[in-house]
Amino acid sequence: MDFSLPSLERIIYLLPGIIIGLTFHEYAHGWMANRLGDNTARNYGRLTLNPVAHLDPIGLLMLFFAGFGWAKPVPVNPYNLKIDMKQGMLLVAFAGPATNLFIAFAATIIWGVLYGFNIPYFDTFMMYAIQINVVLAIFNLLPIPPLDGSRILAGLLPGEHAWLDNLEQYGFLILIALVFTGAIQVIYKYLIIPIVTVYVGIADIIASIFRFW
């Protein structure tokens, strides 16, 4: 894993996608929880699209240096949910990664439609926006506490799952181990890159359609 300082140019290219991805990811958690009856996020001022409310400095830096990162977790009280607690938390957890995949798809559509306008640096910004949001989605779907994937797994597994809760105290160490063992690179190669490739392919198809108009 390369922890070298990214160039200013790369930071500028990455920043819009990162801010949008992290902000909408956390907002989606709060929005879903609010829809299901828990207004904790609203009470804490987290049901907002203001990036300042969601960005975590360390998590932001990790996205630049390590290729993955995080924002401030949105507070959720599962006891306030009006549906089954496990299923409710599954939906709340899934809302974040699903939103990132949707943003990546929206960026794909916009990129394809506007490709022929030759807007300076536009292609690079859109490519990074797609990549960042796919990274946020796939990374958060890993079944490692406290990532969203662990909440989703807990909602899918029958019975109690205290072992997942106990594992949360080691979650950060597990993530660090994934970085230094190269496992993150495997995830990039076999999950993230293929998905990004599909999105880019869709953008190419859309761009080719609009070239004939």
* Contact (Cβ atoms closer than 8 angstroms) between residue 152 and residue 93: yes
Alpha-carbon span 40 to 81, nearest angstrom: 10
Count CB neighbours of 168 within 10 A: 14
Per DSSP, 74 falls in state: P
Q: Which residues are catalytic?
A: 26
3-class DSSP assignment, residue 123: helix
- Six token digits for residue 181: 């063992």
Instruction: Please spell the DSSP secondary structure of 142-166, one letter per residue.
Output: SS-TTSHHHHHHHHHS-S--HHHHH
Measured in residues, the chain has a length of 213
